[in-house]
Amino acid sequence: MVSGALGDYIPKGGARAAGERPLHRPSGAGGEAEGGEQILGVVSLGQDLRISGSNLDAAPFAGVSAAPGTAFADLLPPGDVPTVTQRLQRVLDTREAHVARVQRLRRDDGTEMVVSMSILPAAPPQEGLTVSLIAMAKRLHLYASAAAIGTSLDIGETAQSLAQSLLAWGDVAAVNLDYAVWTGEAVTEQAQDRIRLRRAALVPDRAWPEGYLTPGDNLPREASRLLAGAVMRDDVARAIVIPDRESIERALDDPQLVRALVPGSRPVSVACIPLVVEGPEGASGPIVLGVTEVWRRPECLFREGELLDLQELVAKTARHVDLARQHQREHAQVLALQRRLLPRAGSDTIEVASVYEPTTPDSAGVGGDWVNSFPLPGDRTALVVGDVVGHGLGAAAAMGQLSMEARALLSAGLGPGEVLERLDETVTLLDDTDAGLAAGYSALGSTCCIAVYDPVDHRVLISNAGHLPPVLVHPDGSAETVGAQPHPALGAEFVVREPFEVHEFTVPPGSLLVLYTDGLVEDPAASIDEGIGRLTDVVREVHPWDDLQQAARRVVARLAPKEPLRDDVTLLLARMAGRRSRDTATWHLPARADTPARARSLAAPLLRRWHTGEQARDSTLLVISELVTNAVRFGTGPVTVRLVRAGSLLTCEVGDTGNGRPRLHRGDLLDDTGRGLHVVHKLTTRWGVRWTDTGKAVWAELEA
């Protein structure tokens, strides 16, 4: 029987004294491995699960004490004691072996080693158990580690996996990576004195002496230089071994560096293995991404075969680290895009707050959802929410294009419905359906909802392309969903093409408009209407005095799925304050020859009440006169004149029912007409045209 053979492996008379050779070693016991390294140890247990005998002569078991009479549980990390004790008792009760489970053992100094542990019933007539402990065969561990490392594109997780794997060759393992890896910068040739390292991983996890570098700490510049210089000699990357503490201290030549790099005050040896990738085309040699450290007792010398194994494992990991670095760079770029698309801080007329939670883990922090808010000419604000089908970089790229186009078109003066018409055309043109679906996204079927808030009239224009309806919370706490006539999503060519309806409604000061994507309200166990109903109930609880960003986080925390997200979750809250009536004025005038003079006479006293400077007042009156003159001359009545004061900025807007677009023309010096817009252009900081349901409005901004 196997347990009988293992029993013969244990010296008669129990555990062996330190340094004593084994009394008996059966032929073919399997205690030899690479280069003659013994990897098998055996422990006999009585029915009380205490040690009755042992043979832990193999070098990997050095420091593991198995004295007769002590509990086997004393060899285990505290967290493993209940589980292993239960397994031991089960084998004792059932006489059924428990074979080949990976287990950790504690050495006397607190360090740990990894073994393959099998629990067998003792061979008759003996009672109790025989526990075989096989130190993890290095080649087997090497292949298992190489397969396990690189399953994540997270740099920290990759480094931690490497450190855990390196621990099979020593007592302490550390991984240090260059700054370029953390930041995602392009790998370039670096002089050794320019390499800066940061500790990325350290195992085992324990309390370390003060001053010793732990994950997240930057290595002193001199330490980075020494490590990089040690492993790179004559442009060749190689592993180095420093066999004892005295040699290590001489090499570091600084007590502070010794405290930072050497784990503890006991005798140690160290192997340093570089993380190296091939340099770019034209480079003179390899590029060092970092340096790994494997520390162990000086009496356990690093053999040449072990160093080759370590170099093989680290070399394979280096490729994964470089892939993680490239992913980090791309991820950072896309996150920068996402940040640019997130709503900016509101103004004194509207407060906005947003929350974006991407699908995990495959989205890499980006997706096809977006929300945006930005100021528009004429003191208005645009609020946009959209959703491109899918996640990841492809969806984020399509989202970015649609979001930027929507912003450009709204800023150019188009209304929400007209913007959606152009986005519909864009989606149809840009989408390669086969390629998009293969990449996990498609612009076809994207949804978008656009709202434009006018703080002077306290009104909102909204147009919707297949998106879920916004929720409006009134100042009294009542709430409702608002939306235009339902319209298919963008790029839906299979339906009858209808114009995008624009819905207009009043929003008194203190109203809260809620825009969101379906990931916030979808629930497989309920209808979408129920999800919107839950959202409505939750946002009704947002108090007008609540911090809006904190309120947005609370809403998402209550509604978003607790399990891994199925879809991106996006929320935008917009609290409308409006423009104070004393800071605005609107006049509706007939289209007559005396209308410009009438407009000036109405505006002049208002500008004086606003304490506008004389020069600014004259410029504003001249701009009003020119714009009203053009409205009377080239448009049709009535003419609407609006003045808005926002801090030091004056906005003048003149609307009419004409369809012509005012343009600057290069005229001759002797021309009697066509100078009005040139005057406006010279006197204002900017001006433009926006289209309305009844015609157009020309706006201009001046410094008060």
Q: What pLDDT is attached to residue 17? A: 39
Confidence band of 37 (pLDDT split at 50, 70, 90): low
- Give yes or no for residue 181 having a pLDDT over 60: yes
CA–CA dist 689, 342 (Å, integer): 26
CA–CA dist 615, 702 (Å, integer): 11
Q: What pLDDT is attached to residue 438? A: 45
- Which range has the top average pLDDT, 39-48, 139-148, 214-223, 535-544? 535-544
Which residues touch 211 (CB under 8 Å, ≥6 apart)? Answer: 256, 259, 260
Distances (CA, A) of 410 to 131, 383, 401, 413, 420: 75, 10, 14, 5, 10
- Give yes or no for residue 338 having a pLDDT over 50: yes
Confidence band of 36 (pLDDT split at 50, 70, 90): very low
Helix (H) or strand (E) holding 511: none
Who has greater pLDDT, 441 or 221?
Answer: 221
| Cβ-contact 642, 652 below 8 angstroms | yes
**Average pLDDT of the residues in 537-550:** 91
Closest CA to 479 of 433, 539, 524: 539
- Give yes or no for residue 207 having a pLDDT over 90: no
| Cβ-contact 501, 417 below 8 angstroms | yes
CA–CA dist 358, 331 (Å, integer): 13
What distance, in Å, lies between the first and last C-alpha atoms of the chain? 99
Model confidence pLDDT, tens digit, residues 139-154: 445 544 555 555 566 7
Residue 458: alpha-carbon gap to chain centroid: 38
| Cβ-contact 382, 376 below 8 angstroms | yes
| Cβ-contact 542, 551 below 8 angstroms | yes
Task: Reduce the DSSP state of residue 461 to 3 states and report it.
Answer: strand
Q: Peptide bond preceding 204: is omega within 30 degrees of 0, i.e. cis?
A: yes
- Give yes or no for residue 566 having a pLDDT over 70: no
CA–CA dist 107, 100 (Å, integer): 21
- Give yes or no for residue 458 having a pLDDT over 90: yes
Q: What pLDDT is attached to residue 514? A: 96
Q: What pLDDT is attached to residue 470? A: 94
- Give yes or no for residue 263 having a pLDDT over 70: yes
- Which range has the top average pLDDT, 95-104, 339-348, 694-703? 694-703
Who has greater pLDDT, 473 or 434?
Answer: 473
| Cβ-contact 203, 172 below 8 angstroms | yes
Fold of 342-576: Phosphatase 2c; domain 1 (3.60.40)
Q: Peptide bond preceding 375: is omega within 30 degrees of 0, i.e. cis?
A: no
- Give yes or no for residue 19 having a pLDDT over 60: no
Q: What pLDDT is attached to residue 382? A: 94
Q: What pLDDT is attached to residue 437? A: 46
**Average pLDDT of the residues in 374-392:** 85
Burial of 318 from C-beta contacts in 10 A (0-12 / 13-18 / 19+): buried
Amino acid found at 489: A
Structure tokens at 430: 């840009």
**Average pLDDT of the residues in 193-217:** 84
- Of 96-105, 146-155, 604-613, the range with the lowest mean pLDDT is 146-155
CA–CA dist 356, 367 (Å, integer): 10
Confidence band of 394 (pLDDT split at 50, 70, 90): low
DSSP state of 74: G
DSSP state of 110: S
**Average pLDDT of the residues in 88-101:** 87
Sheet-wide strand order for 51-55: 51-55, 40-45, 129-135, 112-121, 98-106
Residue 395: alpha-carbon gap to chain centroid: 16
- Of 300-309, 404-413, 461-470, 585-594, the range with the lowest mean pLDDT is 300-309
Show me where the domains of the chain are located: 2-136, 140-332, 342-576, 582-703
Q: What pLDDT is attached to residue 149? A: 57
Closest CA to 586 of 629, 509, 639: 639
DSSP state of 544: T
Burial of 240 from C-beta contacts in 10 A (0-12 / 13-18 / 19+): middle
| Cβ-contact 640, 656 below 8 angstroms | yes
| Domain 140-332 belongs in CATH node 2.10.25.10 | no
Who has greater pLDDT, 326 or 280?
Answer: 326
What percent of the chain is modeled with pLDDT above 90? 28
Helix, strand and coil percent figures for the chain, each rounded to 5: 35, 25, 40
Mean pLDDT, the chain, whole residue set: 79
Q: Is the pTM for the entire model greater than 0.75?
A: no
Fold of 582-703: Heat Shock Protein 90 (3.30.565)
Buried-exposed string 596-618: b where 16+ CB fall within 10 A, e elsewhere:
bebbbeebbebbeebebeeebbe
Q: What pLDDT is attached to residue 658? A: 80
Q: What pLDDT is attached to residue 346? A: 62
- Give yes or no for residue 50 having a pLDDT over 70: yes
User: In the Cβ-directed half-sphere of 520, how many Cα atoms lie within 13 Å?
Assistant: 33
Beta strand ranges found along 24-80 (DSSP E): 40-45, 51-55
- Give yes or no for residue 606 having a pLDDT over 80: yes
Who has greater pLDDT, 258 or 16?
Answer: 258
CB atoms within 10 A of CB 62: 16
| Alpha helical stretches, state H, 560-695 | 595-609, 614-634, 676-683
| Cβ-contact 355, 570 below 8 angstroms | yes
Confidence band of 620 (pLDDT split at 50, 70, 90): very high
Helices 304-341 and 138-148 pack at an angle, to 10 degrees, of: 10
Which residues touch 200 (CB under 8 Å, ≥6 apart)? Answer: 155, 156, 159, 160, 175, 176, 177, 215, 290
Q: What pLDDT is attached to residue 645? A: 93
Closest CA to 270 of 235, 237, 232, 231: 231
Which residues touch 536 (CB under 8 Å, ≥6 apart)? Answer: 471, 479, 480, 481
Confidence band of 339 (pLDDT split at 50, 70, 90): low
CA–CA dist 96, 424 (Å, integer): 69
Q: Domain 2-136 is in which class?
A: alpha beta
Amino acid found at 452: V
Q: What pLDDT is attached to residue 38? A: 63
CA–CA dist 234, 26 (Å, integer): 49
What does residue 415 show for φ and ψ, rounded to 5 degrees? -80, 170
Structure tokens at 45: 């247990």
- Which range has the top average pLDDT, 17-21, 273-277, 448-452, 694-698? 448-452
Which residues touch 614 (CB under 8 Å, ≥6 apart)? Answer: none
- Give yes or no for residue 67 having a pLDDT over 70: yes
Which DSSP string do the residues of 366-392 spell out, in sequence order? -EEEEEEEEEETTTEEEEEEEEEEEEH
Asked, colleague to colleague, whether 2-136 and 140-332 share their fold, the answer is: yes
| Cβ-contact 358, 366 below 8 angstroms | yes
Q: What pLDDT is attached to residue 231? A: 62
Model confidence pLDDT, tens digit, residues 273-298: 888 777 655 555 667 788 889 998 88
Structure tokens at 528: 């979408």
